Amino acid sequence: MYRIDIMTLFPDTVGAVLHESILGRAVKKELLELNCWQIRDYTENKQKQVDDYPYGGGWGCVMMAQPLKSCLEAVCAASGERRRRVIYLSPQGPTFTQETARRLQRDYDQLVLVCGHYEGVDERFIEQCVDEELSLGDFVLTGGEIAAMAVADAVCRLVPGVLADEQCYIGESHWDGLLEYPQYTRPETWEGRSVPEVLLQGDHQKVERWRRREQIARTMRKRPDMFEKLRLTEKEDLKLLEEVRKAQGRAQMTEPVTYRPATEEDLPALLRITAEAQALLKKRGVDQWQDGYPNAAAFRFDMERGESFVVLHGEEIAGFFTLSTREEASYASITDGKWSSDRPYCVLHRAAVAARWRGTGLADRLIACVEERARALGLGCIRTDTHRKNKAMQRLLREHGFRYRGNVAVRVGEGHDNARQAYEKLLKK
């Protein structure tokens, strides 16, 4: 059984904290033994004095070596032969890390944690009895208790059986030089912020990949000092790192994503985003939006009918879509398949995300806005179409539950490809 003995002037307080929750349960299950020792009980003077004035003068008092040594002897006598490590919690020690916690759990089965107070402890006790000093960080506490509790907690949760599974700590921040990925729980949308779509789809491989990329990205962003020391060697990690570096140049989603009807003032932003999308499609060899469509006239037509929407990240226009309740003539004749329902439907036309928001998850939010709007209209079916080479749009649609239904021919400028793949999503009631 892993054993921790804490030498302190406040054994009741420390004992009460450490016997709570997970560690308390582990003690009951006899996976751990946690003891707190009152240093004052080992004084050899009537007043039970544990400290005295410093030689050479100066402020405050210093804890005497004798009660500390006698207390330590009592701890050793009570615990017998063990792989024991005596640690003095001190602002002068190296900083305690997850790596230290792993070493202390792996290499020993007893820690004796000595808590100083006042101005610290007589140096001769440290020289004679202490195996190592550990600090909680570069600041000074009034006593070693908080530091001792932190060390005890971090080490004990690594003792087999204390947590439900070792997976609980493998993959956590600092285990392999990375921070943990972001975590979410219910509800799916909270104060306008939604859980990333990938976590809702049940594709474990995709979730794992997304989480690993988030680990790399947030270590890079939040802890450049850790990132500097990181040596990624796995092929998949290097690929993810490349993706993260590319994404760095892009915007970060930090504000709620909302949508509202587009107005004439939004037209310049709509046309700029359209031009960015046209350029991307051209670069990818997709003959879609290459005939000067959509143009200002098309957007104004949609606006007049209240069917054009801007998607906002905070105040910024990050994308747009048109959701029309008018029947789409070209959907009447579908080939190589059929629509799955004859419910009244709405049509998603003219959707795009600004270049600086690509790859940030904004497109997922855009689709969520489309669905919200369709629901608000009381329509349980959304239809749309895209070019067979527009793989990004096809992937986005599939990821959001749209299904390929067949092929349609749309109206396009002369000399352009008018064949489109038709997609449909039936919204849950």
Ligand X SMILES: C[S@@+](CC[C@H](N)C(=O)[O-])C[C@H]1O[C@@H](n2cnc3c(N)ncnc32)[C@H](O)[C@@H]1O
Q: Which residues bind ligand X (CB under 6 A)?
A: 89-92, 115-117, 119-121, 135-137, 139-144, 147
Secondary structure element (H or E) that encloses residue 309, with its range: strand 308-313
Query: Residue 141 or 195: which CB sits closer to ligand X?
Result: 141
Is the Cβ of residue 18 or residue 311 nearer to ligand X in the bound state? 18
Smallest distance, ligand X to C-beta of residue 119, A: 5
131 or 336: CB nearest ligand X = 131
Tell the smallest beta-carbon distance from residue 137 to ligand X (Å): 6
Task: Give residue number: closest CB to ligand X.
Answer: 116
Residue 222 in tokens: 């939040």
Q: Give me the least distance between CB of 16 and ligand X, in Å please.
A: 20
CB of 24 to ligand X, least distance (A): 23
Find the helix packing angle between 362-376 and 391-399, rounded to 10°.
60
Q: Tokens in use for 409?
A: 């021919």
Identity of the residue numbered 414 = E
Closest residue by Cα to residue 308 from 318, 316, 298: 298
Closer residue to ligand X (CB): 155 or 397 = 155
Nearer to ligand X, 141 or 163 (CB): 141
Q: Left (φ > 0), alpha (ψ -120 to 50) or beta: where does 401 sit?
A: left
When the beta carbons of 62 and 318 are compared against ligand X, the nearer one is 62
54 vs 171 by CB, closer to ligand X: 54
5: helix, strand or coil: strand
Q: Tell me which amino acid residue 74 is.
A: A
CB of 201 to ligand X, least distance (A): 45
Query: Distance between CA 233 and CA 98 in Å, rounded?
Result: 22
Q: Could you give phi then psi for residue 184, rounded to 5 degrees?
A: -140, 150
Task: Provide the minimum distance between the beta carbon of 138 and ligand X in the complex, in angstroms, as a whole number.
Answer: 7
CB 147 within 8 A of CB 136: yes
Residue 365: both structure tokens together: 């939010």
How distant, in Å, are the alpha carbons of 49, 338, 341, 370, 422 from that of 346? 82, 16, 12, 10, 13
Shortest distance, position 226 Cβ to ligand X, whole Å:
20
Per DSSP, the chain holds a count of helices (H) and strands (E) of 13, 16
Cβ of residue 107: shortest distance to ligand X, in angstroms?
21
Q: Which is nearer to ligand X, 119 or 172 (CB)?
A: 119
**Of 138 and 315, which CB lies nearer to ligand X in the complex structure?**
138
DSSP label of 95: B
**How many other C-beta atoms are found inside a 10 Å radius of the C-beta of residue 193?**
14
Distance of CA 68 to the CA centre of its chain: 44
Closer to ligand X at the Cβ: 148 or 363?
A: 148
| Structure-derived torsion over alpha carbons of residues 126, 128, 129, 134, reported in degrees to the nearest 10 | 30
Long-range contacts of 410-415 (CB under 8 A, 24+ apart): 410/330, 410/385, 411/330, 412/291, 412/293, 413/291, 413/292, 413/293, 414/291
Q: Nearest distance from residue 150's CB to ligand X, in Å?
A: 9
Residue 88 CB, nearest approach to ligand X (Å): 7
Per-residue DSSP letter, 284: T
